[in-house]
Structure 1
Amino acid sequence: MADQVEVTIPADMWAGRETDEGVLVNWFRREGSVVREGEILAEVMIEKVTLEVAAPVTGRIETILISQGDVVRPGQPLAVILAGSTAEGSAPQAGEPAAPRA
């Protein structure tokens, strides 16, 4: 079974800031999307500066925990990635037959 890895805002994004909260302004991927380590997933605004949040691992976004416009804090999980999973969502890929139904 693949590991679940939380996507959080890296601590260094908060370094030197006078606030401990920001706002998630944009998601670039959605639940079920396959992402690569380092791929930009979201933008967070902290003190009027927009910063990018990257995928910590390659895998599939299993759950998005924070909605666009929500307040976020250091260490708060934004999403969960199923590490190593490269199956996009639950729909069959192009060229793959659909699973038979019982």
Structure 2
Amino acid sequence: MIDIVVPKGLWDTEKTPDGIVANWFYADGGDVPEGATVAELMVEKSTFDIAAPGAGRLHIVVAKDGVVRPGTVIGRIDAV
């Protein structure tokens, strides 16, 4: 399994500690190619795309509208 992690340094966590998962672009259990944008995070009025670190079957850990911080595992990819 490959973890999909919210990268550190995307936003100023001292000002705004939390973000939310604004959207998933693939369904839970769907196949994703490496490098594809799988999720979008929103922090205040900014959005950040999260790319798949590998190819395989997506398992969503944090649902849409879930609160996240840098380092949070939001999903996993089961390499097939």
Q: Distance in 1 between matches of 2:33 and 2:9?
A: 21
2:71 alignment counterpart: 75
Find runs of 4+ consecutive structure 1 residues off by over 3 angstroms: none
Structure 2 unaligned blocks of 5 or more: none
The answer to whether the aligner puts 1:50 opposite 2:77 as a matched pair is no
Equivalent position amino acid for 2:65 in 1: G
TM-score of the two chains, using structure 2 as the length reference: 0.87
Equivalent position amino acid for 2:62 in 1: I
1:36 alignment counterpart: 33
Higher relative contact order (CA 8 A, sep 6+): 2
Q: CA RMSD in A?
A: 1.2
Q: Distance in 1 between matches of 2:9 and 2:70?
A: 10
Pairwise CA distance, 1:20: 2.2
How many residues are paired up?
Answer: 78
Q: Larger radius of gyration, structure 1 or 2?
A: 1
Structure 1 unaligned blocks of 5 or more: 86-102
Matched residues, percent identical? Answer: 38
Equivalent position amino acid for 2:40 in 1: E
Please give the secondary structure, in 2, of the residue aligned with 1:12: coil
